[in-house]
Amino acid sequence: MERLAGDPERAARVAHYRGLIALRAGDPEGGRGWFERAIALHREAGHEAHVVVLEGLALALGEAGRHTEAIEQFTRVLALRREQFGPDHPDLVDTLTNLAAELVDLGREEEALAHMQAAVDLHAAAYGPDHHEVGLLYYDLGEVLRTLGRPDEGLAHNSHALAIARRVHGDEHSDVALVREYRAGLLLDLGRHDEAIALLREVLASYRRTGGDTGALIAHCRLSLADALRRAGRPDEALAHAREGLAQLEPLLPASSALRGYARTAVARVLIAAGHASEALPALEESLASYPADDTNPYQRALTQATLAQALFATDGDRVRARELARTARDTLARGGAGWASEHDTIDRWLAALPPESPSPRSIAAPK
């Protein structure tokens, strides 16, 4: 960058490019630094940064788990794009969907739903309701409805997305497999466990046929299948998928990735259900310590806290701490809306079933 010191405009373009490279390499904090450098260089050149640079910073903030800052940045980008293109232009869609994803991560699902529905409407008006880009948005809309505790509506939108993806790509395409994988989550939420498990096995086989037996898609699908088997009361069958999925996924993620904490917590839940709580403890402690203290997904942290509480009780660990962790998790999830109600209620039942707490020892007065 020293060679470009006299040309801030060109240096800003280089910084933007390096920010994109860092994001693609899974280094959101590095990307954030480069995007902020690009913004400063544009100002040095006498003007504000282009909206794509500002959106790059928003993406980096979100991937780094700094969701509140990401929402503020995406909101600013959305206002700039509306000013540039007008309120009904399809170029607003990516910003709307990115903003919706960040809102979901902070439990603001109703706001997210409004933005996602606006994105669907814009693309459908521009390209028609059966365009493949609209199909992907229907899939995203279904996922937002799932977080709102409305899986039946989500399943209907997923069906529309799946029909479009199959028409455009055929059955053996990663987009089709991805929509089907998330369809399984909706089926699980509707209590249709056997259908979900069968579907995930089909998706896993599809990923293998099209991309081999490694990679993030395979790893994520293994973890999804493990969780489905656990929820169906079959943790012993889930163990191999959980362990293999985590082993495949972890090398692909930076140490600070929120997805790492999610994956470890999902595997720990399987281990606890299968009677291997002691194996789950180290990864849970590490995951809980890895969440940024200032601004991460509070609901994912809550799941890790609750799972650690269960592991501590199962291994005769610190039961006072376990109760505190579970209560904190329950109270956090109570603020998360309908999409987290099931997890909240599960923790509440677990706490209610615990043996009574030992009374605190009475203080003994010193003799006068």
What is the model's pLDDT at position 232? 96
**In angstroms, rounded to a whole number, what is the distance separating the alpha carbons of residues 103 and 71?**
7
71-to-33, 100, 210, 344 alpha-carbon distances in Å:
18, 9, 36, 25
Question: Half-sphere exposure of residue 97, counting CA atoms within 13 Å on the CB side?
Answer: 19
**206 contacts: CB under 8 Å, gap ≥ 6:** 171, 172, 176, 177, 180
Find how far residue 3's CA is from the centre of its chain: 40
**In angstroms, rounded to a whole number, what is the distance separating the alpha carbons of residues 338 and 109?**
9
Question: Half-sphere exposure of residue 45, counting CA atoms within 13 Å on the CB side?
Answer: 20
**In angstroms, rounded to a whole number, what is the distance separating the alpha carbons of residues 254 and 232?**
31
Sign of CA dihedral 174, 265, 287, 35: positive
**In angstroms, rounded to a whole number, what is the distance separating the alpha carbons of residues 320 and 315?**
13
The label of the residue with tokens 């259908």 reads 195
Contact predicate 260/268, CB 8 Å: no
**284 contacts: CB under 8 Å, gap ≥ 6:** 264, 265, 268, 304, 307, 308, 311
Single out the residue of 287, 270, 288 nearest to residue 279, CA to CA: 270
Q: What single-letter amino acid sits at 99? A: L
Beta-strand runs (E) in 3-100: none
Token pair for 181: 């994988």
Contacts of the segment 81-84: beta carbons below 8 A, 24+ positions apart:
81/51, 84/51
**In angstroms, rounded to a whole number, what is the distance separating the alpha carbons of residues 53 and 319?**
49
- Per-position pLDDT tens, the chain of length 368: 444 556 788 898 999 999 999 998 878 889 999 999 999 998 888 888 889 999 999 999 998 888 889 999 999 999 999 999 999 999 999 999 999 999 988 888 899 999 999 999 999 999 988 888 899 899 999 999 998 889 999 999 999 999 999 999 998 888 899 999 999 999 999 999 999 999 999 999 999 988 888 888 999 999 999 999 999 999 999 999 999 999 999 888 766 666 788 889 999 999 999 999 999 999 999 888 877 665 557 888 899 999 999 999 999 999 999 999 999 999 999 987 777 888 999 999 999 999 887 654 443 343 33
What is the model's pLDDT at position 242? 95
The label of the residue with tokens 């960058």 reads 1
Taking 3-state DSSP, the helix, strand and coil percentages for the chain, each rounded to the nearest 5, stand at 80, 0, 20
